[in-house]
Structures are given as C-alpha cells and as structure tokens.
Structure 1
C-alpha cells in the first residue's frame, strides 16, 4: 500500500499560503475578495468551503486529493444533500471561477460555462422544495447518470431507467438506487418511504423484478419494458402524490 504523500511537497503553494482557502483566494486574483472562504483547522491544506448567497445552496465543498495534485468540487442543495454539480481539475484558478459563480447564485449552466471542468449531475434546483419537482429532478439526475456510465452493462441499465421513466405510474414516484437496483418511494429524501417492487438490470442482459431487495421473485425478463410492466402491476393501489420526506 503506498505511503501517504507529504502534502507540503504535493501542494507547496497551498502550504505556503497556510490553507486551501488562502491558496484559493490567491489563485483567484481578487475574484474572491468579498466571498466567505474557509478551511477547517483539522485539515487546512485539503479542504475549503465557499458560501453561497442562495439559501437553497449548501456551501461549495472543495477538496484536494492526497495522491495526485487535483482538486474536486461538490455543490449540493440543503434538503436532500444531493449533488447539483461536481468535477475535478488541476487548475486552482478554475476552481476559483466555479466558486465565485456558485457563491453569486449563477445558474448551473452558467457555472459550467465559467468553469468547464464542472460536471452537471442532471438534477436541478427546487428552491421551494416542491416534492413533484424534486421527484422530476431526481429522475433527470438518474437518467443523466445512466447515460454517462462506462460499465459493460451500461446500455442494459440505461434501458431500465428509461423504460421506468416512460411509465407514468413509476415516473410519479420518487426514484432512488442502491447497488444499481432501481427502487421507488412515495416521499423524497431525506426520509424515503419505499413502495412497490425492486428492479434490476443484469450483466447478462436480463431484467429482474422482486418485492425483496435484488431478489427477482416476480420474475426475470428479456426486456426492460416487460420488467417495468410487471412492477406496475404490483404497485399498491391509490398511491397519492409524492410528499417531502421527513
């Protein structure tokens, strides 16, 4: 197992500034002069946060990698704590541009334009926490994630997500995944209320449906559409609108 590198060697400029927050300000060339940027006392060279002027955004988290000179960003919303943007780069000035845009409340697409390393997760902001819009946002995030996977069975998994989204009864439910199994809830995060079957996409091209977790007791199917149809038949009747969990 490789030994932990000396951070003062990997990040001499950050060490010279005393913290990632101070180094970020220096790299920003004045762009972050009036922006709250802090680093924790426990790991000042590795982490920093940049506050936002928007109440529906958590502070942008910036982290340095320990084994290579790169920084990652993660911007989340406060209710579900799910990522709206992420990304990695070896250019601290580019991180500063993303941080400034996040702080100022720039639209997510505009943050991406200001700092092209930023990756949009597909989720969108829902300032009023409307559960129907949160559900729509999570579906969009799952569809983006499925389209970007690089696993051998990416096409099978993406077909499952798209088939489930195309079914109105499932699209109205809040989707979530665990171990790449697609499940559904009548409430949004942070407190899920699991309902209906669990859907899986196998590396063999088959689709499983079961009432247990990754247990295809309701059958294996050759197409995603057949699996989705079986799942719909086993939904409880009279499901109401999705509510905010917790």
Structure 2
C-alpha cells in the first residue's frame, strides 16, 4: 500500500483513515492480538502496550517507565516501509519490513512482551545491535545510549544518512574515550559535544563539520577554523580542544 503525498489536511485525513483500515484488515485476517493504533497519520501508525514494569534504575531512563511502543511508517513514493520498536523510550530494534503484515506480527509480539532474541527470530528484517542486548540485561547510562541510538539511526533509521563522511566522523568520535563520555549534539551534520547529558547543553571542545567538497572543518573556541582531510584528523583536533582532565 503506497501512501501518496498530500497537499491538504482533508487529503491527509482521508489517507490516514485508509491506512488505518488496511492495518485493521491485515491484523484481523492474521488473528493478531494487536490493539488499534494509538496515533495514526497519513503515513505513520504508533502502537502502545500496557504500562511497563519498573526496572532497576541505572541512570538510563529517569522517571516512571514508559510503555513499550512501536512506530510503523507505511510505504510512500519516497521511502519504503520502516518499523521501530521501543522499549520504554529507546529504539532497540528498527528496519524495513518486506510488507506490512510481517511488521504487524513483530509489533504484536513486541507489545506482548517478547524479548529481543524472540524479536530477532520473529522479524529477521529488524536490526538488533549488540548494545541493545546488553542494555536489555543491564541498562546502559544515558550518554552511552545517546551515542548508540544516534549511530544506529544513521544506518538503520527511517531516514538513513547516505553520506559516508558523516558516518566516518561519528565512528571516529565514538572511538575516542574522552569524546565518548560527552553527549553528542548535532546541528544539521555538524557534530559538537556537551558536558551535560540533557538540554541546556554545556558546549565543550570543538565542533566538526563534514564539508560537501570533502574534508572537515573544525572550529575550536575563538581560534581560527582548521580544515583537515580525514575524520581521524578532525577528531584528534576535537580531543585536543577539550579542557585538561583533572589530575
């Protein structure tokens, strides 16, 4: 079911109704114990399970646990279908189903409480990375999770980044222990770092911008910007611009 673009709200509403009807038809025909979509737009359906059981807190997700969720984006003239499964607030598995029915089977299993190993068997089209299995056993801290989720989205999110220079920058920055302890923040493709995990961010060190013509522009403090050829060189300058570590 390819979802066309729309120019008016009435067209979007009508398309959302058709999308919801198709999902309901597939769910009923397959006998899936799946609740109706909590939120439905012309291209996206969001499903939500019962309230989650509180888990030991390790600084990963403050506050009461959020229900497990799933977001299914239908096929459009620009993008194929995409499914993301959230445990609490975190996208732990995402990928592109071959069509809507396998996606709905995965959503049904997820909201029924399936773990990631079961989801990998049920929905092999989903990418479940090793950090997600680790987090399922023992929650990772919030900054580590932010790095992992952002990097996962570059390759497997609903709008993957095609630029290899952007991916190379993130991989090089993630490999540096001092940068990895900071919160990564982006403005378009420019990457910079915060000493605080949440907004308002406290910017430290340098920002690195991948240039369309090739190379990277590094801006550190009030000094002159520097252009380097590789992500490794750019990240080395970003590390050098960090404040000295406490003795």
TM-score, reference length from structure 2: 0.66
SS at match of 2:72: strand
- Cα pair 2:40 2:46 within 8 Å, conserved: no
In the comparison of the two structures, how many residue pairs are matched? 222
| Other-structure match for 2:189 | 180
Whether 1:25 and 2:8 are equivalent positions in the alignment is no
2-side partners of 1:145 and 1:74: how far apart?
Answer: 10
1-side partners of 2:185 and 2:79: how far apart?
Answer: 33
Whether 1:232 and 2:239 are equivalent positions in the alignment is yes
| Other-structure match for 1:222 | 229
Query: What's the offset of the Cα at 1:216?
Result: 9.1
| Other-structure match for 1:38 | 36
| Other-structure match for 1:115 | 123
**Do the aligned partners of residues 69 and 225 (structure 1) sit closer, same or farther apart at CA in structure 2, a change above 3 Å counting?**
closer
Please, which moves more after superposition, 142-151 or 178-187? 142-151
| Other-structure match for 2:109 | 101
Please, which moves more after superposition, 103-112 or 224-233? 103-112
- Cα pair 2:208 2:219 within 8 Å, conserved: yes
The CA RMSD over aligned residues, in Å, is 4.2
SS at match of 1:196: strand
| Other-structure match for 2:56 | none
Query: What's the offset of the Cα at 1:114?
Result: 0.8
Whether 1:207 and 2:205 are equivalent positions in the alignment is no
Match of 1:60 among 66, 70, 77: 70
- What are the Cα deviations for residues 105-163 of structure 1, in whole angstroms up to 9, with x where unaligned? 33335323312333447763747996x63322333344445567663x41x22332222
2-side partners of 1:69 and 1:229: how far apart?
Answer: 36
**Do the aligned partners of residues 216 and 109 (structure 1) sit closer, same or farther apart at CA in structure 2, a change above 3 Å counting?**
farther
Structure 1, unmatched stretches of 5+, are: 240-246
Please, which moves more after superposition, 218-227 or 112-121? 112-121
2-side partners of 1:208 and 1:72: how far apart?
Answer: 33
**Do the aligned partners of residues 69 and 52 (structure 1) sit closer, same or farther apart at CA in structure 2, a change above 3 Å counting?**
farther
